[in-house]
A and B are shown apart, each in its own frame.
Chain A
Amino acid sequence: MSDATLGVVPQSVDTIQSSYMAQVQRRRLYGGLTLLIFFVLMVSGFNIADGRNAGGFWDGLHQIGDYPADVLSEAWEKRAALPGLIAKYFPALVETINIAAVSTLIGAIGGLFLSLLGTRGLAKWPRIIPLFRRLSDVMRAVPEIVIALVLIFVLGGGPVPAMIAIAIHTAGALGKLFSEVAENADLKPVEGLASTGANWSQRMLLGVLPQVAPNYVSYSLLRFEINIRASAILGFVGAGGLGYELRNAMAWGPGRFDEAAAIFILLFATIVFFDQVSSHYRNRLTEGQGQ
């Protein structure tokens, strides 16, 4: 019996090796094919995009520095006026930040409810969990600009349409992230509270929120960073704030480049500032949790 097994071994090593090599080769072939398809997609995609663009890529590449150079040189010539312009556009900046802050606040509260109502084990009405999940999927899928443009038509221009649009998207996005956190929450405190006769809101407030709060706040801060950018962009399509001023300044063209430069500086400084602040606090929140 043992002889027979021994006799088979050298043969099977060969077969194992050859089948291993065959597998490796097939893997390489698949890997190469995937890479080739990816490469073809990139190149043809680039050509299509280049063909449908008003200006070509290779022509434009030379001009890429022209506009920033024009803006910077004009801003430099009128550098004495720059602090005044920055002060002039500061209220618009405050509006942009306010839009982001309010929409993050409202979105976080909405996301909180969506996540608690859409998580198994925590939901108040377990039967309609899928409804809340789909709702947050749809709210997440709608780009802000869609809601903003429709609301601008109904409510008129200004910060409110942008605020509502960003808040809806934020609620959907945070709802998903929050419910991933809530799924990992320990249910024992909830059961303990339930045994004392606590109602749903008490169970959530005392049993779940203390567990998930650091993560929730951390995600909300990240969202706030994203929302500042979003509120600046929505301003450009007519929703008030810094983006709106930028569009107006750009529409004037040369001669008003110093204003555009002032807005660029404000926007850049704001984004970098809030990035740093939020990443600082996020690190502190997640560090505290690790211990």
Chain B
Amino acid sequence: MTATDLSLVKHEADKLFQRKRLIRFAIPAVIAVYLVYIVFAFDLPGLAQRANLDNAVTLASDSWSHKVHVTRDNRSGNITYAVEGERKGTYPEGQRPHWVSGDEVVTIDLGGDHIVRYLPENRTEIEIPGFPLITVQAEGRALISNLPEDLPDWISASDRRIGITTPEGRITLTGARTEVFNYFPGWELFWFTLDSPYHGQSFATILIGERLDPDRSNISGAVSDWWNNAMWRHKDVAWAIGETILMAFLGTMGAAILALPLAFLAAKRFSPVMLLRAATRRLFDFVRGVDALIWTVVLARAFGPGPLTGALAILITDTGTFGKIFSEALENVDDKQIEGVTSTGAKPLQRYRFGVIPQVVPVLLAQILYFLESNTRSATIIGAITGGGIGLMLTQAIQTQKDWEEVAYYIILIIVMVMFMDWVSGWLRGKLIGGKE
């Protein structure tokens, strides 16, 4: 090798290094510039003002706890006790939580020496450690209190409304009613509502103890009361999850059934007519391109909201995807196996049955099962749009903005459902195809 050759090689190597160095710096630089653009395009600086941290706190605390409302109607003087303030969670007449005592003067012990007393004639006394005793008198629509001018930030007061937030609970007072919210960890009434005879009974009592409801045996009564729980609606939730899985199942399998014959039309080796092939392929591209969102919107107009609409939207979109994948698989079929079958004197149909199908079935099944899992997730989203399944229940629960423990419950169920479908599809894949590859 001469010196000129060497210097040429060195020059080229230098250039290559320079290019590589440039690329190494250019790619992160481009990404950084793009991210800076996004920061402004998405208005991240303004997000801090739009973000509502109180909402985040409510969400975080409400999702694992519940509150019991003690409400005094200042006109009638009636006191009601209700879990989450819902009618379905109201304590029956004559019953009340154990931390409430007294008849003439109702004493509510919030814990940590925080005590609220409902006195006759719409008077309220609130005892908070480290703060002078607060007394409030409701007069018509106005409130007269002994609160000082200078208030700590956990008390907000006007002459119409007083709100006190302590770590032990919350108190709001207006002319019309006085309310105390006492917080407890856990999901209350998850098993039985207050009107069920099984509420508050231990598991052992229900299982082997004496009969609590004379009309029913303990186990069947308990199961039926749990299933029909008005607060948590276990029955509706189970149906909703069933609907979501049904949408995914019907959509995926229907798409596979439709796509298989069409894929033969689109594959070069089985469909000699060019025009037909091209037409089928464009059809696949079209239904895929229109996307599940638009199909959902269009189909919801024809079929109304419900699981069938979701299933059809998945079916139509996936027919395109499956058609594309299947026809590619059919084109990659190995000729040797078909020749081998032909050499035994097999007729064309037998050639397909024993030469082609055994080769493509593992690929097709693997794809179908993979899509079954992925479509469970899509069905949750589509359900939120068309109104079916667990997606709808989740959207509704979030929109009411108060049942965060139900939102947490649904989210856990959705994750469990998707992981279950993932496991089922992996298990079936192992059973039907055997092994990984």
Contacts and interface: CB of A to CB of B under 8 A. Distances in A.
A binds B: yes
Nearest to B38: A102
Contacts of B307: 48-49, 52-53
Interface stretch (A63-71, A79-87, A112-120): A63-71
Nearest to B41: A98
Which residue, of A45, A61, A64, has the highest number of chain B Cβ atoms within 10 A?
A45
Contacts of A142: 411, 414-415, 418
Contacts of B414: 142-143, 146
A85 B152 CA distance: 54
A98 B303 contact: no
Main secondary structure of the interface of A (DSSP, over half): helix
Contact of A154 (B38, B51, B311, B395): B51
B311 A229 contact: no
A155 interface: yes
Contacts of A74: none
Contacts of B250: 42, 45-46, 49
Given A68-B298, A150-B398, A246-B297, A271 B52 contact: no
Contacts of B298: 64, 67-68
B175 interface: no
Contact of B391 (A67, A145, A268): A145
B247 interface: yes
A154 B56 contact: yes
Nearest to A138: B415
Interface stretch (B11-19, B138-146, B177-185, B282-290): B282-290
Interface stretch (B75-83, B155-163, B217-225, B376-384): B376-384
Interface string B51-68: 111011001000000000
Contacts, number: 181
A149 B289 contact: no
Interface in A214-230: 229
Contacts of A66: 301-302
A193 interface: no
Interface in A237-251: 237, 243, 246, 250
B291 A155 contact: no
Contact of B42 (A50, A98, A144, A234): A98
Given A68-B298, A246-B297, A267-B293, A52 B394 contact: no
A171 interface: no
A54 B308 CA distance: 9
B113 interface: no
Contact of A156 (B50, B285, B395): B50
Given A55-B302, A143-B380, A268-B289, A49 B308 contact: yes
14 contacts: A49-B243, A49-B306, A52-B306, A54-B305, A55-B302, A55-B306, A66-B302, A105-B34, A150-B407, A155-B47, A233-B292, A233-B293, A246-B297, A268-B294
Interface of A: 38, 41-42, 45-46, 48-50, 52-57, 60-61, 63-64, 66-68, 95, 98, 101-102, 105, 137-138, 141-146, 149-150, 153-156, 158-160, 163, 229, 232-234, 236-237, 243, 246, 250, 264, 267-268, 271-272, 275
Given A67-B298, A149-B395, 6 more contacts: A101-B34, A146-B415, A154-B53, A158-B42, A160-B44, A271-B291
Interface of B: 31, 34-35, 38, 41-44, 47, 50-53, 55-56, 59, 243, 246-247, 249-250, 253-254, 285, 288-294, 297-299, 301-309, 311, 377, 380-382, 384-385, 387-388, 391, 394-395, 398, 401, 407, 411, 414-415, 418-419, 422
